[in-house]
Amino acid sequence: MLKLREVVAAYGPIVALHGVSLEVPEGSIVTVLGANGAGKSTTLRAISGLLRPREGSIEFEGQRIDRLSAEQIVSLGMSHIPEGRQLFSELTVLENLRLGAYSRFAGMASGIREYRQRRRDFEAALKQVLEYFPILAERKNQVAGTLSGGEQQMLAMGRGLMARPRLLLLDEPSMGLAPMVTREIFEIIHTINRTQGVTILLVEQNANLALEIAHYGYVLETGRIALADTSENLRKSEAVQRSYLGQ
Amino acid sequence: MDEFLQQVVTGLATGSVYGLLALAIVLIYRTTNVLNFAQGEMAMFTTFVAWTVLQRGEYWLMFPLVLLMAAAMGGFIELVIIRRVEGAPVLNIIIVTLGLFAILNNVATWRWGGIPKGFPAPPEIQVTGVKFFGEGALDIGPTVVSYHDLTILVFAVAIMAALYLFFQYTPLGLAMRATAQNPIASRLMGIRVGRMLAVGWALSATVGAVAGLLIAPLILLQPPMMMGVLLYAFAAAVLGGLDSPVGAIVGGLIIGVSENLVGTYTPKEWLGPDMKLTVTLLIIVVVLLIRPTGIFGRRALRRV
């Protein structure tokens, strides 16, 4: 579904990715592990179009996307839930969710029928998101900035799902959350993948949890892929245990 | 008492014009983080265009036409000029808007000359026997209000209401608010941020154009006509809180009223009409000392 080949990406003169290649098969959960500054977030930014790769190619469902803008890429069926959530903190929960669906409804409806169809689509997507995250229904009219950390992460994910993506890029969903909340979020990620068949590329510091739900994993070290294997094998690997699983 | 009310109403009317121009400034500041020093000159320029159109056409035909032209001009300025300096240091952008100020001012002087021209107030419309706009004054019991002052107030309220509905209830308005808050997240939602900025400038230029059309009958049409108004508008925007549209209008009204009252009621020997600008700005300084983000401003102005 997603293929990166020798992707080089940089912030000005600082090269963050030195030729990263990875693959995400359809229907799977793939995780990218690595220390701070290894280039995990940069990888996601390059995929979603926030950062234009300097070299290499990125293919999504057989189509080259490395020269497209972030605005175009989201409408192809890929949602990026960025590091630090990046909510619209002064807008309400419902407004955030509405914006999540923006890419599907950009531009004027061409008639009353299309308008109604869009409404139905939106309501259906909203209903589904609120089923995953019932707390968001209760907080519907609350300003996003006043939510707790866990609720904010749920809103960020809900907003991403409103675009009905086939591929979800998730950047550190556990950041700053209590272990209980993190576990809940990971269960939901697992459910989204299983029941809806949404493919997930998950960047995570919490290697234990990530390898528990992922099918496949990559280890990123200073902008290069150091290891790539099934989660099972990665969990057994001595190098991973030493550096990332704290054993 | 009657005179006091009279002064308040007149102050509210001129204050609405300051408020409208302040609103135009805030609309751009919120989305682009640019303080547009050319805002007044843009309004002056569109008012001159309106004057030219009026040589041949009806007022109420000219009105929507000039608003459309103003929107086009605002969008054009963003796309062609401001976009080139996007992300540049704040000072660069300020210099660019000052350059725009000079260009518009010079072109207007070159094209239309420096001699002040009279500009008509919106002419009368009769709707089922009720008179709107036009000459004369309306007796509302304790005081008398000129129709033009009423017109200004009505326009200010209507524009505020329209903008509120637009930002609160349309997808485009929501996308623009999102862009103002978090451009990166907006891009991830599929919002074309650049387009939103151009729309913001277009909206702002339109609101400014209305301010120009409404103030011109009171102060005569000439290239430097908006300088004083712009100063008040900036003061109003800062007073209200630079990122708050409601604050802009409220700030404008406060300044309009206090300017009028200071001009009328303070004794000539030590303050009087000559000092009304000073006193008004002094009030603003005091307010900002107490509330640095302005009356309605929520965020600290960290991006400037």
Task: Flag if B182 and A88 touch (Cβ within 8 Å).
Answer: yes
Q: Is A52 on the interface with B (CB under 8 A)?
A: no
Whether residues B171 and A74 touch (CB distance < 8 A) is answered with: no
Domain segments of chain B as ranges: 2-225
- Of A58-62, B261-265, B275-279, which one has max mean pLDDT? A58-62
| Structure-block tokens of residue A131 | 């089923």
Q: Is residue A35 exposed (0-12), middle (13-18) or buried (19+ Cβ within 10 Å)?
A: middle
pLDDT of residue B294: 82
Give residue-wise pLDDT tens across range A79-107.
999 999 999 999 999 999 999 999 887 66
Q: Which residue has the tokens 């999504």?
A: A60
Q: Given an 8 Å threshold on Cβ–Cβ distance, is A74 in contact with B189? A: yes
Across B1-15, B158-172, B258-272, least confident range:
B258-272
Q: Is the pLDDT of residue A240 over 70?
A: yes
Checking if the pLDDT of B123 tops 70, the result is yes
| CB of B226 closer than 8 Å to CB of B43 | yes
What are the backbone angles phi and psi of residue B43, rounded to the nearest 5°? -65, -40
Q: What is the DSSP string of B67-124?
A: HHHHHHHHHHHHHHTGGGGTTS-HHHHHHHHHHHHHHHHHHHHHHH-SS-B--PPPPP
Q: Which pLDDT score is estimated for B1?
A: 63
Of B178, B188, B190, the CB nearest to A91: B178
DSSP reduced 3-state for B271: coil
Looking at the complex, does the CB of residue B31 fall below 8 Å from at least one CB of chain A? no
Whole-angstrom Cα distance, residue A135 to residue A183?
A: 16
- Looking at residue A45, its pLDDT comes to 95
Query: What is the average pLDDT value for chain A, to the nearest integer?
Result: 92
What the block records as the tokens of B50 is 């309106």
Which comes out higher in pLDDT, residue B126 or A25?
A25
Contacts 24+ apart (CB under 8 A), A204-209: A204/A31, A204/A32, A204/A33, A204/A172, A204/A173, A204/A174, A205/A33, A205/A36, A205/A172, A205/A174, A205/A175, A206/A174, A206/A182, A207/A33, A207/A240, A207/A244, A207/A245, A208/A245, A209/A174, A209/A182, A209/A183
* Whole-number pLDDT of residue B242: 86
Distance CA A229, CA A71 (A): 32
Query: Nearest chain A Cα to B185, which residue?
Result: A86
Rounded to an integer, the average pLDDT of A19-39 is 93
Q: What is the pLDDT of residue B304?
A: 34
Amino acid B133: pLDDT: 77
CA distance B174 to chain A (A): 8
Q: What is the pTM of this model?
A: 0.87
Q: Pick from A168, A237, A170: which is nearest to A210 by CA?
A: A170
The least confident of A13-17, A197-201, B272-276 is B272-276
Task: Determine the distance in angstroms separating the CA of B251 from the nearest CA of chain A, rounded to an integer.
Answer: 22
What distance in Å separates the CA atoms of residue B162 and residue B261, rounded to the nearest whole number? 30
Which backbone phi and psi does A20 adopt, to 5 degrees? Answer: -100, 130
Q: Is the predicted pLDDT of residue B303 greater than 60, yes or no?
A: no
In B275-304, the residues whose Cβ lies within 8 Å of chain A are 298
Arithmetic mean of pLDDT, B114-133: 81
Give the percent of chain A with pLDDT over 90. Answer: 81
Which of B135, B157, B146 is CA-nearest to residue B9? B146
Amino acid at A199: T
Is residue A118 within 8 angstroms of chain B, CB to CB? Answer: no
Q: Does A230 touch chain B (CB under 8 A)?
A: no
pLDDT band for A247, please (50, 70, 90 cuts).
low
Of the partner residues A50, A87, A163, the one whose CB lies closest to the CB of residue B187: A50
Q: What is the structure's pLDDT at B146?
A: 84
Could you report the per-residue pLDDT of B43-80, keeping only the tens digit for each?
999 999 999 999 998 999 999 999 999 999 999 999 99
Q: Is the Cβ pair B177, A91 closer than 8 Å? A: yes
> Could you tell me how far CA B14 lies from the centroid of its own chain?
11
- Higher pLDDT among residues B127 and A156, named by residue: A156
Q: What is the pLDDT of residue A104?
A: 86
Compare CB distances from B189 to A69, A89, A100 and report the shortest one's residue. Answer: A100
Task: Please tell me the predicted confidence (pLDDT) of residue B204.
Answer: 96
Q: What is the mean pLDDT of residues B214-220?
A: 91
**pLDDT level of residue B302 (50, 70, 90 thresholds):** very low
pLDDT, residue B91, reads 87
Judged by CB atoms within 8 Å, which residues 208-227 of A form the interface with B?
none
- Report the residue from B177, B181, B191 with minimal CB separation from A71: B191
Per-residue pLDDT tens over the stretch A130-151? 999 999 999 999 999 999 999 9
What whole-number distance in Å separates Cα of residue A65 and Cα of residue A50? 12
Question: Looking at residue A243, what is its pLDDT?
Answer: 77
Average pLDDT over residues A154-166: 95
Which residues from chain B sit within 8 angstroms of residue A90, using beta carbons? Answer: 181, 298
Which residue from A49, A90, A159 is facing B181, i.e. has the nearest CB? A90
**pLDDT at residue A246, rounded to an integer:** 66
